[in-house]
Amino acid sequence: MSPPSEPHPTTFYVQKAMDGDEESWNWVVERLSPLLHAQAEYHLGPELRLNYDPTDLVNDVWQVAFTKLRRQDGRQTPAVVRFLSSTLRNRVRDLVKKHIRGKPKRQGGGGEDSEGLDPVARLPADQSAVSQAAVKGEAQELVTQAIRNLSSEDRELVVLRAIEQQPNKDVAAVMGLEPNTVAVRYRRILQRMREALPGSVFEELSED
């Protein structure tokens, strides 16, 4: 199955996944997981990573996504990435609260959702297996490694701008930079990643 000749293949596969196509779901998980993994590592930090595996957290986010993502019109990538990154931030926030209170880690590293239910328990077993396999796929590991090879400051910029889609002025405030500097550096990072990883999700991320 190939997407039509359009600039944003993720839109095609997300729509197919929302219609229940397992192959498309696997494609979407594999394509976007490296971004989530970078975000998980960034927000967990070295201390929480001693107790919580970023890969488990990413897998947990996908379980939630499968139950809550809905088909939309128009380009899908920004909206889907925004939903996933927000879900992951909420998960990390829950883990931090539990860590501070000294509560034990739940098996799987993701915590329960806002309704107090384990999202994995609501997910069909075959779909859970697909998600876990895609999160650990070899293709997505290339993108994950490319992100890890960036400098710590460039990784932070990718997380805040590309994944969480924060505006340049907010990223500049967090990183202690000028907004124009953030914009220029972000465009340069995207260009490098696109050249190193042709056909990857970086080709679909907006420079604006």
Q: What is the pTM of this model?
A: 0.77
How confident is the model at residue 120, as a pLDDT? 36
How confident is the model at residue 106, as a pLDDT? 46
How confident is the model at residue 111, as a pLDDT? 42
How far is the C-alpha of 33 from the C-alpha of 169, rounded, in Å? 26
How far is the C-alpha of 6 from the C-alpha of 83, rounded, in Å? 23
Predicted confidence (pLDDT) at residue 25 exceeds the cutoff of 80: yes
pLDDT digits (tens, 9 = 90+) for 60-88: 899 888 878 776 666 778 888 889 999 99
How far is the C-alpha of 18 from the C-alpha of 93, rounded, in Å? 28
How confident is the model at residue 14, as a pLDDT? 84
* 191 pLDDT tier (thresholds 50, 70, 90): very high
How far is the C-alpha of 123 from the C-alpha of 106, rounded, in Å? 17
How far is the C-alpha of 80 from the C-alpha of 32, rounded, in Å? 9
Q: Is 160 exposed, middle or buried (0-12, 13-18, 19+ CB in 10 A)?
A: buried
pLDDT digits (tens, 9 = 90+) for 86-134: 999 999 998 888 877 765 444 444 444 433 433 333 334 444 444 444 4
Both structure tokens of 8: 């944003």
How confident is the model at residue 116, as a pLDDT? 40
